[in-house]
C-alpha cells in the first residue's frame, strides 16, 4: 500500500488590492458568507495538507485575526515588502523548513474555485511526477492575465505576464489561473534562481516554470473544465460580478436538491446556509450566516434571515430576523423583527409590526400585531393583544416578564418587569401592570373614566372639533324631539290596532 503524499498549501494574500479603494484588505472582502480568502481556504481544505501557510502583508493584523477565526491551524507569514509572488512563496517555505512532498500555491482572490478542481490539479501533478504543474483556463477575454506559452509539441514552455508578453503571446487565450502544484524540493532550488529582470522589477513565481523547462524538468498544464472558477477579483465591479456568479451556482445547487426558489435572480443564499427539501424561497429573500431553513418551510417574499433557524413547515413573510429560532409550523410577519435569542415554539405566531428580543414564545402562543416583547417568557396558547409593551428596561438593568399558559393580555397594555401574569389570567385592555396577576385572575389598573360635559365648546371655541360637537348636539336634540312625538303617535296607533 502506497504512502499518502505529504502536502503543504501556500495561499498568497499579501497584496493591497489598490483598485478596491478600500481600507479593508482585498482578501477580506465578503462574498456570500465567506471572505475571498475564506473561500480559497475552504476549497483547499479537503486536500488535508500537513501545513497551510498564508502569506500576509497589507493589513496583516486584520488578516491574521480573520485566520484565527476561520482557519486557526493556518500559519500567517509576513511579507513586509511585496517584492513579487516568487519572493512571497520563498518566505512561506522558509517558515516550514521541514516540509516535503507537494506544495500547492493558490492566489487568495479566486473565490469561485472548487475543491474538485484543486484535487484534480494535484492528482495530475503527482500522477505524472511533474516538477511543476499550472492550472490553466481558456477564457473569452485574456486581457490583464498571464499567458500559457507552449512549444511546438504542446508542452508548457513558459508563463508570461501580459505586460512582458509579445503581441503574439498576448493573442493567446489560454491563461494562468494563479494556482500551482510543485515538487517542493525542486521548487526551493528554482526560487533561488529567480531574477527581477521584468517590467515590475519583481520575482515572478511563474518564472519557475521557464527555469524548470530549460533544465529539462517535467512541467505540466492542467486545464480547468470551467474557466469561471479561475476568475479573480481586482475591484468592486469584478467583486459584484463574482457575487452574481456564486449566487447562481448556489441557487442552482439548492434547486437540484428539491428546494423551490421562485425568483433566483433576487434570492441570495450564503454558502454557509442549509435549506431543507420542499422549502419555498420567495423573491427578495436573503439567507445569511448559519441560517437553517427546514423542510416545507416558506420564506419570503422580502425576508432577511441572519444566523436564524426556521423549523419545518414554518412561514416567514416580509420580516427580518437575526439569531432567532422559529419553531415547526410557526408563523412570522409580515413586517416582524426577531432579534437575537427570540425563540418561537411550535405553531407560535408573531405578526405584523411585532418586535421580539431574548424571549420565548410558547407553543401556539400569539403576538399578532403592534407589540414589543423583550426579555419575556410567554406560555403555551397565551394571547398578547395589540400594542402590548413588555417594559423590560429600567435605565440600568433588564428585567424579565412571565406570561403563563393560556393567559390573555388585552390591547394597549404595559407589563412593567419584573412581573408575572399567571396561567389562565386576564389583563384588561389599557392596563399598566407592575404587580403579579394570580392564575385565573383579572388584572386591571385603569383609572375610572369621567366625562366633562361641554369642555370643548368652552375651551376650544371656533375649532373644527367645536363645530362638530355643536352640530352633533343640535342633531341629538332634534332627534330627541322628533323621536318623542313619533313614539307617542306610534303608541296611539299601536293601541288602536290592539283594540
Mean pLDDT of 260-273: 98
Q: Sorting pLDDT into bands at 50, 70 and 90, what band is 478?
A: confident
The CATH superfamily assigned to 7-230 is Spore Coat Polysaccharide Biosynthesis Protein SpsA; Chain A (3.90.550.10)
Mean pLDDT of 441-462: 94
62 annotated as belonging to a binding site for a ligand:
no
Helix (H) or strand (E) holding 70: helix 60-70
Mean pLDDT of 103-125: 97
- Cβ atoms within 10 Å of 108's Cβ, excluding its own: 29
**pLDDT score of 498:** 35
Is the CB of residue 295 less than 8 Å from the CB of residue 312? yes
Report pLDDT digits (tens) over 145-159: 999 999 888 889 889
Mean pLDDT of 353-382: 98
Is the CB of residue 230 less than 8 Å from the CB of residue 135? yes
Nearest CA among 85, 93, 77 for reference residue 8: 93
Q: Which of 114-128, 204-218, 231-245, 482-496 has the lowest mean pLDDT?
A: 482-496
Domain 251-443 fold: UDP N-Acetylglucosamine Acyltransferase; domain 1 (2.160.10)
pLDDT at residue 482 is higher than 80: no
**pLDDT score of 16:** 87
Mean pLDDT of 126-135: 96
pLDDT at residue 316 is higher than 80: yes
**pLDDT score of 414:** 98
**pLDDT score of 362:** 98
As a whole number of angstroms, the distance between CA 175 and CA 217 comes to: 21
Average pLDDT value for the chain: 93
**pLDDT score of 499:** 29
Residues of the chain with CATH 2.160.10.10: 251-443
Q: Phi/psi of residue 152, each to 5°?
A: -60, -25
339 annotated as belonging to a binding site for a ligand:
yes
Q: Which of 87-96, 233-242, 485-494 has the lowest mean pLDDT?
A: 485-494
Active site residue ranges: 369
**pLDDT score of 165:** 92
End-to-end Cα spacing for the chain: 120
**pLDDT score of 4:** 57
Mean pLDDT of 419-427: 98
48 annotated as belonging to a binding site for a ligand:
no
DSSP sequence for 261-273: ES-GGGEEE-TT-
**pLDDT score of 470:** 95
85 annotated as belonging to a binding site for a ligand:
yes
392 annotated as belonging to a binding site for a ligand:
yes
Residues of the chain with CATH 3.90.550.10: 7-230
pLDDT at residue 496 is higher than 70: no
Mean pLDDT of 30-39: 98
386 annotated as belonging to a binding site for a ligand:
yes
Return the residue matching grid coordinates 306610534: 490
**pLDDT score of 82:** 87
Q: Phi/psi of residue 313, each to 5°?
A: 65, 15
pLDDT at residue 484 is higher than 80: no
Q: Sorting pLDDT into bands at 50, 70 and 90, what band is 41?
A: very high
As a whole number of angstroms, the distance between CA 104 and CA 46 comes to: 13
**pLDDT score of 2:** 47
Q: Which of 74-88, 129-143, 169-183, 479-493 has the lowest mean pLDDT?
A: 479-493
**pLDDT score of 198:** 78
**pLDDT score of 481:** 73
The set of residues, in sequence order, having a beta carbon less than 8 Å from that of 85 and lying 6+ positions away, is 12, 202, 203, 204, 205, 206
Amino acid at each position: 500500500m502506497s504512502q499518502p503524499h505529504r502536502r503543504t498549501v501556500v495561499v498568497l494574500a499579501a497584496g493591497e488590492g489598490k483598485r478596491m479603494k478600500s481600507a479593508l484588505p482585498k482578501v477580506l472582502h465578503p462574498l456570500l458568507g465567506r471572505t475571498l480568502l475564506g473561500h480559497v481556504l475552504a476549497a483547499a481544505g479537503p486536500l488535508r495538507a500537513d501545513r497551510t501557510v498564508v502569506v500576509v502583508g497589507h493589513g496583516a493584523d486584520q488578516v491574521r485575526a480573520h485566520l484565527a477565526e476561520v482557519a486557526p491551524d493556518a500559519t500567517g507569514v509576513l511579507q513586509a515588502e511585496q517584492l513579487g509572488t516568487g519572493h512571497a512563496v520563498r518566505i512561506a517555505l522558509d517558515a516550514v523548513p521541514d516540509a516535503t512532498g507537494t506544495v500547492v500555491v493558490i492566489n487568495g482572490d479566486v473565490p469561485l474555485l472548487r475543491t474538485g478542481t484543486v484535487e484534480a490539479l494535484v492528482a495530475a501533478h503527482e500522477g505524472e511526477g511533474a516538477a511543476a504543474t499550472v492550472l490553466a483556463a481558456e477564457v473569452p477575454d485574456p486581457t490583464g492575465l498571464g499567458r500559457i506559452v507552449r512549444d511546438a509539441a504542446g508542452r508548457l514552455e513558459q508563463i508570461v505576464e501580459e505586460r512582458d508578453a509579445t503581441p503574439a503571446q498576448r493573442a493567446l487565450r489560454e491563461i494562468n489561473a494563479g494556482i500551482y502544484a510543485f515538487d517542493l524540493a525542486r521548487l526551493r532550488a528554482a526560487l533561488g534562481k529567480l531574477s527581477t529582470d521584468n517590467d515590475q522589477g519583481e520575482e515572478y513565481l511563474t518564472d519557475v516554470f521557464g527555469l524548470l523547462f530549460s533544465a529539462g524538468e517535467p512541467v505540466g498544464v492542467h486545464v480547468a473544465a470551467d474557466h469561471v472558477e479561475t476568475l479573480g477579483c481586482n475591484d468592486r465591479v469584478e467583486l459584484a460580478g463574482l457575487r452574481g456568479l456564486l449566487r447562481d451556482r448556489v441557487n442552482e445547487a439548492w434547486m437540484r436538491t428539491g428546494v423551490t426558489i421562485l425568483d433566483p435572480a433576487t434570492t441570495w443564499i450564503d454558502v454557509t446556509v442549509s435549506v431543507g427539501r420542499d422549502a419555498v424561497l420567495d423573491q427578495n429573500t436573503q439567507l445569511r450566516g448559519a441560517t437553517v431553513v427546514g423542510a416545507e418551510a416558506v420564506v419570503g417574499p422580502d425576508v432577511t434571515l441572519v444566523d436564524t433557524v426556521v423549523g419545518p413547515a414554518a412561514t416567514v413573510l416580509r420580516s427580518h430576523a437575526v439569531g432567532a429560532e422559529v419553531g415547526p409550523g410557526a408563523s412570522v410577519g409580515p413586517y416582524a423583527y426577531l432579534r437575537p435569542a427570540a425563540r418561537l415554539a411550535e405553531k407560535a405566531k408573531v405578526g405584523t409590526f411585532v418586535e421580539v428580543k431574548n424571549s420565548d414564545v410558547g407553543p401556539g402562543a400569539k403576538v399578532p400585531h403592534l407589540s414589543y416583547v423583550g426579555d419575556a417568557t410567554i406560555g403555551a396558547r397565551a394571547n398578547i393583544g395589540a400594542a402590548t409593551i413588555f417594559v423590560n428596561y429600567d435605565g440600568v438593568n433588564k428585567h424579565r416578564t412571565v406570561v403563563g399558559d393560556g393567559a390573555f393580555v388585552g390591547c394597549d397594555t404595559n407589563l412593567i418587569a419584573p412581573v408575572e401574569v399567571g396561567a389562565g389570567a386576564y389583563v384588561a385592555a389599557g392596563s399598566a401592570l407592575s404587580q403579579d396577576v394570580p392564575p385565573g385572575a383579572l388584572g386591571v389598573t385603569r383609572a375610572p373614566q369621567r366625562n366633562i360635559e361641554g369642555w370643548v365648546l368652552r375651551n376650544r371655541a371656533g375649532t373644527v372639533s367645536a363645530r362638530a360637537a355643536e352640530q352633533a348636539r343640535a342633531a341629538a336634540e332634534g332627534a330627541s324631539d322628533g323621536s318623542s312625538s313619533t313614539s307617542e303617535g306610534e303608541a296611539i296607533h299601536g293601541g288602536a290596532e290592539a283594540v
